[in-house]
Amino acid sequence: MKNINVGELRWNVVDQGVGQPLLLIHGFPLDHTMWQFQIEDLSRDFRIIAPDLRGFGASDSNDAPMSMADFADDLARLLTALDVDSPVNICGLSMGGYIAWEFWHRHPQRLSRLILCDTRAAADNTETQNTRRSTAERVLRDGTDFLARMMIPKLFDQETLAQKSALVEATRQVLLGTNPVAIAAALNGMAEREDATDWLPEIRIPALLLCGVSDSITPAEEMQQIAETMSDSQYVTIPQAGHMAPLENPRACNRALRDFLGA
């Protein structure tokens, strides 16, 4: 792990391996540890950069509202601070995917290939926005316990929940330990995010879309449709996995990533 200053904040980031940079953007409300199996395997062939986003994990928070665009700009600044000036491969899961769309939109010259895991392109409807806003208020008032109870069963496939209890428990602990202020900021940021659907036909760089077969948060069919709308994309379904496909079935995910990235 590295601690690196980006602007006024101190960031916690894994910077491991040599080769083409591969930036891994974690989902909500987690941290870089959700990429543990990708870091371990892919750092043999790539320079893996896996930060804790602002306010998450061990990175500082300045308690400011955060849009997906703010997170994308943070990552561009982080790459500069790490002396990465050539275009990078970006892989984002769920909220990390929302940030990856914004990164493409705002910093296209810094991006060479895009990997989207268990995410969507469409913005929230009004009902989802309202739920996010009330969840943000509740987490500030009551803390993270209720959110862990609500989210953990939805993040994983039934088989993962039954058979990989250490992994599920580690994820629960990350969620429970996340700063409620950062959680609320990200919930409000997701509620306000741009709809990336119209951007899809304009994305001409190669893209890989992965989705766990039993993902109940982001249905696999929706990701397949996103892939069909993009000009240079591949779609892969990950078996024995729900929303946390890279953590639940790292073998299948890493194989798809390696095939796509040519390693």
Q: What is the contact surface with ligand MLT in residues (CB under 6 A)?
A: 27-28, 94-95, 190, 217, 243
Nearer to ligand MLT, 95 or 203 (CB): 95
Contact 75, 110 (CB under 8 A): no
* Cα distance between residue 245 and residue 257, in whole Å: 12
* Cα distance between residue 216 and residue 200, in whole Å: 23
Q: How far is the CB of 131 from ligand MLT (least distance, A)?
A: 10
Q: How far is the CB of 231 from ligand MLT (least distance, A)?
A: 25
Nearest to 154 by CA among 239, 80, 219, 68: 219
Structure tokens at 245: 């496909």
Q: Angle of helix 180-191 relative to helix 126-142, nearest 10 degrees?
A: 170
Nearer to ligand MLT, 21 or 27 (CB): 27
**DSSP structure class, residue 1:** -
Nearer to ligand MLT, 43 or 104 (CB): 104
Q: How far is the CB of 190 from ligand MLT (least distance, A)?
A: 5
Nearer to ligand MLT, 47 or 215 (CB): 215
Q: How far is the CB of 33 from ligand MLT (least distance, A)?
A: 14
